[in-house]
Chains A and B, each alone.
Chain A
Amino acid sequence: MAVGLTLIFGVMRVVNFAHGDMMVWGMYLAWLLATRAGVDPYVGFAACAAVLFVLGLIVQRLLVDRIVDAPHEMQILLMLGVALVLENAALVAFGPDPQRVRSPLRAATLWLGPLFVDVARLVTFALAMALTVALYLFLQRTDLGRTMRAAADNAYGALVIGADVRRVYAAAFGIGAACVGAAGALVSPILPFQPAGGLSLSVASFNIVIIGGMGSLPGAFLGGLLVSVAESLGAVFLSPSMKELVSFSLLIVILLFRPAGLFGRAAT
């Protein structure tokens, strides 16, 4: 999930505020698939990714593309607008109550050495890792991937060598959105979700991406691990309602001390 955000930022230097809300839509789509079509989210996540890819493309082409060169304030406001629309559309469409997706895998558990492991979480983890690796390979091996990385390093330079930068931007945004859609689907059997949850997901994503470094894929991955550990520790020691406090406090600390992240380059 954070990988998607860092991709968008790295390539386009636009921060996607609507990230968490897109993920929530991913979750709801998975839910729809599960309840209406009986498709297990662990299979259906590909469809969710596809839908969100298209959504991402639309958002990018229609909206973000126009403001790539605009002052930062404008970009922020635009994405805030998108976030508002997405979040409240979900509210209107699905109602405010939390939902969860039933999956046959949910109930199964495994003994893995001394640990009691939830199969659902294991599958989620495995698939997420697989997707991350696939994305990494995509960026390293394919033409489009390489162009994206070039554009991330130096947008002007990429233009000069003839890369169709607009297409690259669109693809980056689309893929980023797809990642998030997949993430939403994969997580939907595990976490309860509701339209208002968009913000905390966005915050979690930002936390991860800023720690790992904006624009750095390995950083996002590492950041994800770090933040999850931190949050789990927090959940152990504090009451559940304060868990959110941990993520926000973490965000503040991270913002103050590491805006460039562990691996990344600093934002302009």
Chain B
Amino acid sequence: MRWLLAAALAVLLALPLVLSSYAVTVFIFIFFYAFLGQAWNIVGGYAGQLSAGHAAFVGIGAYASAVLSAQAGLTPWIGMLVGGALSAALGTLVGYLGFRFGLRGFYFVLLTVAFAEVCRIVALNTDAVGGALGYYITFTGNPRQFQFQDNRVYYYIALGLMLVATAVVAAIERRRFGAYLIAIREDESACEALGVNTFRYKMLAMVVSSFLTGVGGTFYAFYLFSLQPNSVFGIPLSVEIIIRPIVGGAGTVLGPILGSFILSPLAEAARVYLGQGGWSGAHLIAYGVLLIAVVLFLPQGAYPALRRLWLRPTPR
């Protein structure tokens, strides 16, 4: 397995040399959403705390670094850490409220959605950050401002982000933290009886997840150059974030990556072929169907199923 991954990595590193600009864009899309999905994976996949409001963290990270860059001249390279920290602060709040008040399952999902929507509405109504018209970043192409002329730099940054998030998740899985999160997902009360401080570990997962997602917000801002509250805080983005790990395999290291490689090209194709006219929601219908299909037929996601297929021919 290792050599397969190493080879894949080598290929990915070399790709921009041969790909068209458009293809590079698609890969950026794949890597970036894999990154966001991986960050979500920590709290949603491993700990089993479904958050359908992770877009809030993207939004906070995005607006924070964008505003700091424009008003205070703070380079987004540092701004991303600030954005991450602010997102982590919100994550701490949501986590604290949710876990302290014993909100599980469906109630927790609602809480996260509510917070994301509140953020969205606040952003819509705050003229200082552009309100409903959105916030725009002037293009300067200056690397110190996290802007690059060449698409391919974004490619490597997105790839880097994806690898960092994956490394974090792999490290977590190897340690007690990961084992505890998985157990918490299975049965919280049993964990408590076995000496696991479930509150602490859920909080930790939430903080790490929201921090990473917030960092991703900076990439979003300085890649797209425009921030619309409905897009960057909205439910469709939260859905995009969670669907890749779920389809690819929540609670696994490679799941979100696999999910993104499967879904991002499809979403892009849908956007290109169906995006015009009245079909703008079509790819979300496909997401809905896919979600249903995964729940019914492949509850653990594509990666575990593939792995079973891969391992089966080998006699034990």
Contact = CB atoms under 8 A, between A and B. Distances in A.
> Do any beta carbons of A and B sit within 8 angstroms of each other in the complex?
yes
Interface of A: 15, 63, 66-67, 70, 72-74, 76-78, 80-89, 91-92, 95-96, 195, 199, 203, 206, 210, 239, 241-242, 244-245, 248-249, 251-252, 255-257, 259, 267
Nearest to B103: A255
Given A15-B106, A244-B117, A73 B289 contact: no
B275 interface: no
B285 A241 contact: no
B183 interface: no
Given A74-B295, A267-B107, A85 B289 contact: yes
B292 A91 contact: no
Interface stretch (B108-116, B161-169, B220-228): B108-116
Pick from B124, B284, B292 the residue with the most CB of A within 10 Å: B292
B280 interface: yes
A78 B105 contact: no
A203 B113 CA distance: 9
8 contacts: A67-B295, A76-B106, A81-B288, A81-B292, A85-B292, A92-B285, A199-B117, A242-B125
Given A244-B121, A245-B122, A248-B121, A73 B105 contact: yes
A92 B279 contact: yes
Contacts of B52: 80
A206 B107 CA distance: 10
Nearest to B299: A74
Interface string B123-137: 011000000000000
Contacts of A73: 48, 50, 105
B118 A245 contact: yes
B50 to A, nearest CB: 6
B292 A241 contact: no
Contacts of B273: none
A257 to B, nearest CB: 8
Interface residues of B, number: 43
Contact of A81 (B111, B118, B290): B290
A80 B290 CA distance: 11
Contacts of A206: 110
A194 to B, nearest CB: 12
Q: Which 5 A-B pairs have the closest CB atoms?
A: A84-B288, A81-B291, A88-B281, A85-B288, A91-B281
A82 B115 CA distance: 22
Given A73-B48, A73-B50, A248 B291 contact: no
A44 B109 CA distance: 35
Given A255-B111, A256-B97, A241 B125 contact: yes
Contacts of A251: 110, 114
A199 B53 CA distance: 13
B205 to A, nearest CB: 15
B32 to A, nearest CB: 21
A75 to B, nearest CB: 8
Pick from B50, B52, B295 the residue with the most CB of A within 10 Å: B295
A77 B235 contact: no
Interface string B72-111: 0000000000000000000000000100011111110111
Contacts of A82: 288, 292
A63 B125 CA distance: 40
A235 B235 CA distance: 24
B239 interface: yes
B115 A252 contact: yes
B235 to A, nearest CB: 6
A266 B48 CA distance: 20
A253 to B, nearest CB: 10
Interface string B271-310: 0000000111110110111111011100100000000000
Contacts of A195: 281
B241 interface: no
Given A87-B281, A91-B280, A242-B121, 15 more contacts: A63-B292, A67-B296, A72-B105, A73-B105, A77-B50, A77-B246, A83-B288, A84-B288, A88-B281, A89-B281, A91-B278, A91-B281, A92-B278, A95-B278, A241-B121
Given A83-B288, A88-B288, A256 B105 contact: no
A81 B289 contact: yes
B111 A252 contact: yes
B285 A76 contact: no
A80 B291 CA distance: 8
Contacts of A85: 285, 288-289, 292
A160 B141 CA distance: 71
A84 B121 contact: no
Given A245-B118, A245-B122, A267 B105 contact: yes
A77 B122 CA distance: 27
A72 B292 CA distance: 14
B39 to A, nearest CB: 18
Interface in B40-58: 48, 50, 52
Pick from A81, A248, A251 the residue with the most CB of B within 10 Å: A81
A252 B114 contact: yes
